[in-house]
Structure formats: structure tokens, C-alpha cells
Structure 1
Amino acid sequence: MPIKIPKELPAFKVLSNENIFVMNIERAQTQDIRPLKIAILNLMPIKIQAENQLLRYLSNTPIQVEITLLQTKTYTSQNTPIEHLEKFYNYFDEVKNEKFDGLIITGAPVETLKFEDVAYWKELEEIFEWSRENVFSTLHICWGAQAALYYHYNIEKYPLDKKIFGVFSHKVNKINEDLTRGLDDIFYAPHSRHTTTLKEDIEKVKDLDILAESEEAGAFIIATRDKRQVFITGHLEYDRDTLMGEYIRDCSKGMEVAIPKNYFPNDNIDETPLVKWRGSANIVFGNWLNYCIYQNTPFELEKINKLY
């Protein structure tokens, strides 16, 4: 899906070099079609890396996607140049009167905190509530998924004895569902978290389905019956070396952290990690854009109806 982004955004050069079709704003304006409006609330600490990862999977199909990058006002990232944030990001207040076909809420390195203790929790609650009436389908990732399940359904997260860290196999529970269409019966995805959401808590909510899960990592793809709310507990968007970077970071802080499971060949950190999840990531993000949004979103965005 050609991404409509400024030429100056670092992702434009990165994705162009990967032969992924990105479109500058000037070219997009010459095409007489309505692009899908997708907002990304980027809560990750290294925002440019997260931008590149997500935009890669929102690309290369025949429909334009217009991206709006969002940051929180109540907390400013310490790991992204302020010039980048000022140039490319909006605050929620600047877009809250708009409607969007889709919204992605990323993970964040705050999972050991209680939700209410997170600096931007009140702002995030406002965004969750706003999304019910102003977004057709919202995709929540890792901590973003846990936070949304807690806000919308009062589903708690629980600390783990050991961090779920590595690349894990998953099985598809519902083959004919739109989000899992085309996935192998067994597929792989990265996880990196200290907390989990229990399957039995999710199953108590009649409107939620667990579409894919892992014996080691638990429920993975969760969605409402109408796919207006999607929750992914891992990181399909991660690059080859993202887990390696997290491992090196944690080791440098003196933390006790195990080598990511099923990631380095022979568990040798000097060997190049093998990517086992790229095909699955393309399928899931593509399914979300096509079946959950494009095939169902109103052409006139003001006609988006309120959720429950």
C-alpha cells in the first residue's frame, strides 16, 4: 500500500531503499482517490525505529495510506530528537476532531508499572474513549494491547516470574477469520514483556475471540467479533535485530536477562538472528488493512458509528 508521508521522514528513504512503494504528498495529491487515514500513537522510546517498522508493513498494496504520527503531551520521549518530534508528530488535541479509518497504539516500556501510575495514563484513557467513536478499527500492540484490554474490558495484566523474550511458535485457532486468513497453521512471532494477560480472563468476555495463541507466550491475536478492536500481545513488526538490541541494552544495565529464545542460531549471540516472522507480519497487517478496514470502513468518515 503506497504510504503517503513527507520525503523528509527517515522512513521514506529506508523503505524506498527496500523497494517498498512510498509516495510523497505531492504525488498523492494528483491521484483522485481517498486514502485510508491511519494514525499511529507511537509510545515506543526509539520512535524512528518504530516508525520504520510499522510503515514497512502498511505498504505495498494498491491503496493509498495517509499516516498521522501522534505523541503524548503529558510525556516527551527522551530517546528521539526533539526536532524530529516537532516536525513530524502531532498531539492528540490537534486531531481529536478528526475521524480515522485506523489507529495503531504501540507498545511501551512501562509494563512493570500499574496502568494508573504511567505518566500519560489519563491522556491514553481519553484516546481510548475517543477511538470508540472516531476510529473504525484500532490495532493495539504489546503493552498497548494490555492497556486497552484493561480500559475497555477491565482485564488485568500479571507479572511473570521470567520475561517472555524471544521468538515463539503460535497456532491459529480460527482459520477462516479475516485477521488470520492466509497464516500457516503454525507461525512465529517475537515477544518481549515482563507481564501477561490470562486466557481465562479474555474468555470471560463474550465479545472477544482469541484467534491465535502460543503455548509459551499465551494469547496472541485477540479481537472483537466485528474487528473494530484488535489486540496483538507480541511484536510482529520487529526487525531482525530488535530483540538483539534489547538484549544488549538490558545487559549493559546490569540486568539479569536470558538470551532471547529461538532467536540466535545455536543460542550464539555472535551469529546473525534468523527472521521467522516476516511473512506472518505481512499477512496480519495486510489483513487488518484490507478486511478489517478497507472492505468495511465508510467512504465518508463522518459516518463512523460509535462502538458499544
Structure 2
Amino acid sequence: MPIKIPDQLPALAVLANENIFVMSENRAINQDIRPMQVAIINLMPNKIETEVQILRMLSNTPLQINVDLVRLHLNESKNTPKAHMDAFYVLFEDIKHKKYDGLIVTGAPLGQLDYQQVTYWPKVEEVFAWADANVTSTMYSCWAAHAALYYHYGLQRELREQKLSGVYLHQTLDDLEPLTRGFDEEFKVPHSRYGEVPIVDYHSIDGLNVLAESNQAGVYLSASHDKKHVFVTGHPEYDASTLKDEYQRDISAGIDAFIPVNYFINNDLEQKPSNSWRSHGCLLFSNWLNYYVYQITPYELNN
């Protein structure tokens, strides 16, 4: 079964052209099953691009999924049309009475700010507390992963002088872990961040498992023992060109950025990057939906 998304959402046409199985609302209403209810709190500036990337990852599963795109406030987005936000996003205040099988909280361009300097940090804390009581399992990505580690366990991130940007090799650490079931022993993932939590800090927390790491990029994947929280510090959902676009934006903004590591062939910016991580990303999201959500969540969400 596919993800079910609104008929007019731009991602529908993009994914259909990629031969990815999606279902419009009109078709989905004729299926007599209980679909998974998943909310996506999208904190990224280019929301349409992020929607496509995440929905692509969610599509590779036999489960039917209803998706709610959620915003924390009514402030206008600098990079996403107001008409799009009004048409396809719901306010957190309007859905916090509901329960969800899964929640995804994306990264945000806040990597060099202290959490208390983030204008909507109190709302982020409210979301984290709400998810504990109303969501079977939550996946936190990049900035949200570090923010949730701070909120739940008090783990402080360290800030790198230079952004970690590139495609890095990772290793799985537990052969019996269902979240990494089917992973190759080594796999690639893009990273784009300033923050880092040392691995020794992860190991200091009872109830937290480190599941995959990189010699260069540090801890990539970790999860709580009860499967309620999954922390992903990289970007398995990225398109092939996303790191290139970010690098060019940094250069245009006057930032002394390094060329993303292990990305361009021979570091030649004229070479077209290729996506060498998509299969891993699809498997990660599929495993999360199956083993951390579907196998655990009640049939009646209110129960």
C-alpha cells in the first residue's frame, strides 16, 4: 500500500513521475483498512522540497499511510508560498488533541543557535512532551535529533567550527536490531550540520542504544529502548543535488564553506553528484514504520 496525500499536493506528481506508488485521497477512501496515521512537523525552510524527500522515503512500504503536514505557527515562510502553507498544512494547535502512530520532526537551519535562542523553542518543547503521550514512535532528524536528545536526556551538543558536510561511510553496531535489519555492514549517508554529541555521552544514558556510527561523522542512528524515540543525525532523505545546493547557498552567503566530502567526483563541481544512499534511506523508514510503529501501535489509536 502507498502513502495517501492530498490530490493537489505538488509532491504527488513528482513522486508519480518517479514511479513511486502514491495514492490520492479520492482513491484511498474506497479501501477498507486502518491506515497508519503519521504527522510530519516540517521545520526546513524549503518545505516543498522536504515534503517530496520525506514522502519518497515513506512510500516504500506495504502499509497505507495518512500524512498530516504540520506547522508550529502562522508566521510566513520565506521559501514556501503562503498559498501552499494554507492549503496543505495544519497548525499544531489544531491537531494536538489527536493521537498518531508515527511522528517525524525534521531538521531546521538553527545549527549555531543555543536552543533557548530559538524563538519557537517553547513550542518545540511542547511538541516533544505531546509526542511522549500521543505518538507511538517519533523520528527526529538532524537538528531535531540533537534538540530531542537535549530535551529528553540533557545531552549537550558541541558545535564544530566547520560544518560537517558530505557523504560518509557508516557501520551498524547490532546484528539483531530491527531498525537496521537488512542494512549492509557499511552504508553511506549524507550529513550537513554543525552540531555533534560525543558518542561517550550517548553511552552514559541508560535506555539509549547507539545503532550506527561513522568514523568521520560520529553517531548517526540511535533509539530509546522502548522504541518511542529515534534519533537520526544525517539526511538519508536528501536528493542527489541537495548538498550541492546547500554548498552553493553557503558560498553565495559569504560563508567560507568546504566542498562536501566524498560527494563530487575528484572534487570537481562540474561533475553531477549521484545518489548512493537512497536504498538505505528507504529501508530505514520502512523498518521504522514496521518494527517501531505498526508492530507496536494499537488498532484503536485512542487506546
Superposition deviation, residue 7 in structure 1: 1.4
In structure 2, the residue matched to 1:187 is 187
Partner of residue 152, structure 1:
152
Q: Is the 8 A contact 1:75 1:119 kept in 2?
A: no
Equivalent residues of 2:60, 2:286 under 8 A apart: no
* Cα distance between partner residues in 1 of 2:174 and 2:7: 40
Please say if residues 158 and 195 of structure 1, whose CA atoms lie closer than 8 Å, have aligned partners that are also in contact.
yes
Q: Partner of 1:228 in structure 2?
A: 228
Q: 1:306 maps to what in 2?
A: none
Residue 283 of structure 2: aligned partner: 283
Q: How does 1:240-251 map to 2 (within 5 A)?
A: 240-251=240-251
Structure 1 stretches of 4+ with a deviation exceeding 4 A read none
Alignment of 1:1-308 (within 5 A): 1-73=1-73, 75-303=75-303
- Give the Å deviation of 1:20: 0.9
Structure 2 residue identity aligned to 1:272: K
Q: In structure 1, how many angstroms separate the alpha carbons of the residues matched to 2:27 and 2:132? A: 32
Deviation string 1:272-302 (CA, Å, 9 cap, x unpaired) is 1121111110111110011111111110101
Question: In 2, distance between residues paired with 1:38 and 1:104?
Answer: 8
Aligned-partner residue type, residue 110 of structure 1? L
Contact 2:153 2:205 in 1 (8 A): yes
- Once the 2 structures are TM-superposed, how far is the Cα of residue 74 of structure 1 from its aligned partner? 6.6
Between the aligned partners of 1:195 and 1:294, the Cα distance in structure 2 is 31
Equivalenced residues, count? 303
Alpha-carbon distance in structure 1 between the residues aligned to 2:171 and 2:158: 23
Deviation at 1:161, TM superposition (A): 2.4
| CA–CA separation in structure 2 for the residues paired with 1:10 and 1:275 | 22
Identity rate, percent: 49
Whether contact under 8 Å (2:40, 2:68) holds in the other structure is yes
SS of the counterpart of 1:301?
coil
**CA distance in structure 2 between the aligned counterparts of 1:103 and 1:64, rounded to whole angstroms:** 15
The 1:160–1:273 alpha-carbon spacing in structure 2 relative to 1, beyond 3 Å, is same
**1:108 & 1:62 partners in 2: Cα distance?**
30
**Which stretch of the first structure deviates more once superposed, 178-187 or 73-82?**
73-82
Alpha-carbon contact 1:265-1:274 (below 8 Å) kept? no
Q: 2 CA distance for matches of 1:45 and 1:132?
A: 26
Letter paired with 2:60: N
Task: Tell me, in whole angstroms, the C-alpha distance in 1 between the residues paired with 2:121 and 2:74.
Answer: 9
Instruction: Name the aligned partner's letter for residue 118 of structure 1.
Output: V
Note if contact 1:107-1:144 (Cα within 8 Å) is conserved in structure 2: yes
Summarize deviations over 1:113-169 as a string: whole Å, max 9, x none: 000110110111000000001000000000010000001111111111221100000
What is the CA distance between 1:64 and its match in structure 2? 0.8
1:75 positional shift: 4.5
Cα distance in 1 for residues equivalent to 2:110 and 2:208: 25
Q: CA RMSD in A?
A: 0.9
Q: Do the aligned partners of 2:60 and 2:282 also contact (CA within 8 Å) in 1?
A: no
The 2-side partners of 1:72 and 1:78 are apart by 15
| Partner amino acid, structure 2, of 1:8 | Q
The one-letter amino acid of 2:151's match is Y
CA change 1:222–1:60 in 2 (3 A) is closer
Q: Deviations over 1:17-37 (max 9, x none)?
A: 111111111111110001100
| Structure 2: 5+ residue stretches without partners | none
- In structure 1, distance between residues paired with 2:174 and 2:124: 31
Q: Secondary structure at the match of 2:179?
A: coil
